Amino acid sequence: MEQQAIGVFDSGLGGLTALRELTGLLPNERFIYFGDTARVPYGTRSRETIINYARQDVNFLRSFDLKAILIACGTVSTTAMETLKGEFSTPLFGVVDPAVAAAVAASKSGRIGLIGTPATVGSGAFERAILAKKSTAQVTSQACPLFVPLVENGRFEPEDNVVELVVAEYLAPLKAAQVDALVLGCTHYPLLAEAIAAYMGEGVTLIDTGAAAAQALATFLRESDMLSDESHKGGQKFYVSDSPDGFERLASVFLRTNVCGEVTQVTVG
Amino acid sequence: MEQQAIGVFDSGLGGLTALRELTGLLPNERFIYFGDTARVPYGTRSRETIINYARQDVNFLRSFDLKAILIACGTVSTTAMETLKGEFSTPLFGVVDPAVAAAVAASKSGRIGLIGTPATVGSGAFERAILAKKSTAQVTSQACPLFVPLVENGRFEPEDNVVELVVAEYLAPLKAAQVDALVLGCTHYPLLAEAIAAYMGEGVTLIDTGAAAAQALATFLRESDMLSDESHKGGQKFYVSDSPDGFERLASVFLRTNVCGEVTQVTVG
């Protein structure tokens, strides 16, 4: 039987943080990454448009022979997941449940913070999942609409004055609420982790949703006996909807290593 | 003969600043505004994708009976205009030439500044047009990739700390170059005019590209005897590609009055 690949999808390049985790956990797997760079960002758009775009994106990924798709995008995971699961037979994994499990496990006080795009926070999906798992939890949520443009423009270093100011503005209510676990509900945000940690101070666990989702997917595949064995050679292919020109530079930031794999531009929608 | 309308296009809602100018100048005209809110921003995307999107947008506008189309978008005007003019017979007007004429007229020193999206600045279109008009001009250009996300998120007040910091960062080279005219090469930027003026100080004329283009189009229509006469009642219709839900709130900011006209969502591309 031909080796099936694993699809990884994000609106932009943030999902590469999940891919990095996956390639470390599953070295014999082939990965197909798709980033909808011609239409990023999703998180400030309407629910209807996000669902429409996500449907087109998953349809594109299904043109490959895939064993599973990781929706490494907080906005799509919280806004379009139920719709997508009803429409596609390929197993789809989102970022909500794994991140919530990690946050509930990490929080001693039960005061849990969530940051995400306006669409993610507006959906209430993370809050519902946290309360379903721990009914006494106190959840404080904050939309951070400028984080994705900052990161997509390469602005995430903690010593960047603009980053420092925007982080302090958005996170002030979470600090005031004394959360001890903070869900980074967007795959772009791990790049801001150092700046976020510096502001929040010690004793606050940051939950990387992409990494948590990657671990959950790896566990599922292992328990379902769906992993490729050592006779297979792992690999990565990258697809983007805008020009690949800027991809390698920005991708190397997310992957923390040079991009190793073919990059192809495709049209979706 | 049926009254023809005037099309006004922008990637998002920034072009409404040009529409405001046009409705003031031409009260008997009907206007069709299209904002591609499902795919904004354009200015950080590749040239190829910008041309592709702009072609689809103009095609949509051409489904109406139009006497002219104002491309009230600095990115499309500088990146896709030549391509579009070769493909469509409807008269197309961009923002470059009117803004350049205004800047050259306003500058006493010949030191002219340009700010715009990365695509606009990268195209070199404004610099070429300035030097063609005044060969001794010294042009200083600066891409401001965070300005559009800031404005689209309602962040443009001069007392906003983030706005103040980002404005100071981007405009420092223009202040150092002692420009006395500054082209706001993106229709989003007039909303930041107060913050920009506060930083640049007195003696610097800010050129609003949307307003300059609106005036040039009005002059063209008058001189070509293409204006509707007083028997016609002016009006506006708005089309957007994302949900109209947030449109009215943000549109009223750009128009500085409540939106008066039907808002319809359409699919392009």
Question: Could you say which of A189, A209, A229 is where a domain stops?
Answer: A209
Interface test with B, best of A146, A150, A171 (most B CBs within 10 A): A146
User: Are both A83 and A216 inside the same structural domain?
Assistant: yes
**Which of A146, A165, A246 comes nearest B149 by C-beta?**
A146
User: Are both B193 and B61 inside the same structural domain?
Assistant: no
- Sole residue written with tokens 């006209």: B261
In this prediction, residue B181 carries a pLDDT of 98
CA A209, A212, A213, A218: dihedral to nearest 10 degrees?
A: 160
Distance CA A40, CA B143 (A): 19
User: Are both B178 and B149 inside the same structural domain?
Assistant: yes
The alpha carbons of chain B give a radius of gyration, in whole angstroms, of: 18
In this prediction, residue B257 carries a pLDDT of 73
User: To the nearest whole angstrom, how far is the Cα of B108 from the nearest Cα of chain A?
Assistant: 34
**Nearest residue of chain A to residue B37 (CA atoms):** A45
In this prediction, residue A1 carries a pLDDT of 52
In this prediction, residue A5 carries a pLDDT of 97
Distance CA B16, CA B172 (A): 28
Exactly one of B6, B51, B71, B73 is catalytic; name it. B73
Show residues of chain A in contact with B39, CB under 8 Å: 38-39
Show residues of chain A in contact with B269, CB under 8 Å: 269
User: Are both A168 and A229 inside the same structural domain?
Assistant: no
- Sole residue written with tokens 């956990």: A25
Task: Classify B147 as helix, strand or coil.
Answer: helix
User: Are both A238 and A178 inside the same structural domain?
Assistant: no
Show residues of chain B in contact with A249, CB under 8 Å: none
In this prediction, residue B2 carries a pLDDT of 66
**Domain boundaries, position A27:** 5-94+211-265
Q: Which residues pair with B236 in a beta bridge?
A: B31
Residue bearing the bigger pLDDT, B25 or B250: B25
The tally of domains found in chain B comes to: 2
Interface of B with A (CB under 8 A): 37-39, 44-49, 145-146, 149-150, 152-153, 155, 161-162, 165-166, 169, 241-243, 245-246, 269
Q: What average pLDDT does the segment B3-16 reach? A: 93
In this prediction, residue A247 carries a pLDDT of 80
- Nearest Cα neighbor of A137 from A148, A150, A128 is A128
For B221-254, letters b (16+ CB in 10 Å) and e give beeeeebbeeeeebbbebbbbbbbebbeebbeeb
Percent pLDDT > 70 in chain B is 99
Test B145 with A153 for CB contact under 8 angstroms: yes
Q: Which residues pair with B208 in a beta bridge?
A: B184
In this prediction, residue A254 carries a pLDDT of 80
Exactly one of B81, B114, B186, B206 is catalytic; name it. B186
User: Are both A102 and A163 inside the same structural domain?
Assistant: yes
Q: What is the pLDDT of residues B97-108, one digit of tens each?
A: 999 999 999 999
Tell me whether residue B144 is one of the annotated catalytic residues: no
Q: What average pLDDT does the segment B111-116 reach? A: 98
Percent pLDDT > 90 in chain B is 86
User: Are both A140 and A170 inside the same structural domain?
Assistant: yes
In this prediction, residue A241 carries a pLDDT of 96
Residue segments in chain A with a per-residue pLDDT below the cut of 50: none
The CA distances from residue A194 to A157, A159, A189, A190, in Å, are: 8, 10, 10, 8
**Which of A45, A47, A162 comes nearest B166 by C-beta?**
A162
Q: What is the pLDDT of residues B173-211, one digit of tens each?
A: 999 999 999 999 999 999 999 999 999 999 999 999 999
Interface predicted TM-score (ipTM): 0.91
**Nearest residue of chain A to residue B53 (CA atoms):** A38
User: To the nearest whole angstrom, how far is the Cα of A87 from the nearest Cα of chain B?
Assistant: 21
**Which of A45, A153, A246 comes nearest B38 by C-beta?**
A45
**Which of A46, A162, A243 comes nearest B169 by C-beta?**
A162
Show residues of chain A in contact with B155, CB under 8 Å: 146
Q: What is the pLDDT of residues B82-96, one digit of tens each?
A: 999 999 999 999 999
Question: Could you say which of A209, A235, A255 is where a domain stops?
Answer: A209
**Nearest residue of chain A to residue B49 (CA atoms):** A242
User: Are both A203 and A100 inside the same structural domain?
Assistant: yes
Weakest-pLDDT range from A137-141, B19-23, B248-252: B248-252
Tell whether the model's pLDDT for residue B150 goes beyond 60.
Answer: yes
Pair B210, B217: CB distance under 8 Å: no
Show residues of chain A in contact with B245, CB under 8 Å: 46
Here the CATH number for the domain that contains residue A153 is 3.40.50.1860
Whole-angstrom distance between the N-terminal and C-terminal Cα of chain B? 31
Interface of A with B (CB under 8 A): 37-39, 44-49, 145-146, 149-150, 152-153, 155, 161-162, 165-166, 169, 241-243, 245-246, 269
Tell whether the model's pLDDT for residue B1 goes beyond 60.
Answer: no
Interface test with A, best of B166, B169, B266 (most A CBs within 10 A): B166
In this prediction, residue A2 carries a pLDDT of 65
User: Are both B120 and B187 inside the same structural domain?
Assistant: yes
**Which of B39, B165, B269 comes nearest A161 by C-beta?**
B165
User: Are both B232 and B152 inside the same structural domain?
Assistant: no
User: Are both A77 and A124 inside the same structural domain?
Assistant: no
**Nearest residue of chain B to residue A167 (CA atoms):** B162
Question: Could you say which of A209, A226, A242 is where a domain stops?
Answer: A209
Q: Which residues pair with B264 in a beta bridge?
A: B239
- Nearest Cα neighbor of B139 from B109, B163, B159 is B109
User: Are both A101 and A45 inside the same structural domain?
Assistant: no
pLDDT interval class at B250 (50, 70, 90):
confident
- From the number of C-beta atoms within 10 Å of its C-beta (0-12, 13-18, 19+), residue B164 rates as middle
- Angle (deg, nearest 10), helices A209-223 and A96-106: 110
Distance CA B255, CA B14 (A): 9
Show residues of chain B in contact with A47, CB under 8 Å: 243
Show residues of chain A in contact with B44, CB under 8 Å: 152-153
Q: In chain B, where do the E strands start and end?
A: 5-10, 30-35, 66-71, 92-93, 111-116, 138-143, 181-184, 205-208, 235-240, 262-265
Test A146 with B169 for CB contact under 8 angstroms: no
